[in-house]
Structure 1
Amino acid sequence: MSGNQDFLGKNYPNPVSGKTTIPFRLNKSGKLTIKLYNIRGSLVQEIASGNYSSGENIVTFDSTNLPSGIYFYQLESSGIRQAKKMIIK
């Protein structure tokens, strides 16, 4: 992850069956949320919400109680939204 824009990385491992790590980078410190949506676009869970420092960050997420399937996680910060696909097995 390089550059000076907010960036949402790919979770690892993916596919996941248990805990996964979601990396992201913020250009400047501030509030962000990361939300998980199912394939139909319905909100499943808020993974993270709060103030984070500028630079590289990670969030760990436990998918143990979710059914198998394709999901999307979305970062929202400073009015910018980015999403990535997560497969839960």
Structure 2
Amino acid sequence: MLGNEQAAAVADSQQADYFRGFLSGLRADLESDLAKQVRRLTASQNAGDLGAVNVLRRAIRTAEGDLRAVVGMVDALDGRFPQAPDLRTG
């Protein structure tokens, strides 16, 4: 039975690593999109386009919430499945 538990633990760890990588990519995409929205907001503010400013502020708040959610998911994964040290380096 110990072999099955160990195999399950390895599979869980591999799955956590996969999702950690997926979420890392998603986080990078969200951060990039957020930076673009902030630049657009600044340009809209400078141009005095209040309609665009309101829309962009809402979009930025949504993007920030999405980013917080992704960071929370990564933190939860790290808490449940700490990353093993990379033995190939060093």
TM-score, length basis structure 2: 0.20
Q: Which has the larger radius of gyration?
A: 2
Larger relative helix fraction: 2
Tell which has more relative contact order, 1 or 2 (C-alpha 8 A, sep 6+): 2
Larger relative strand fraction: 1
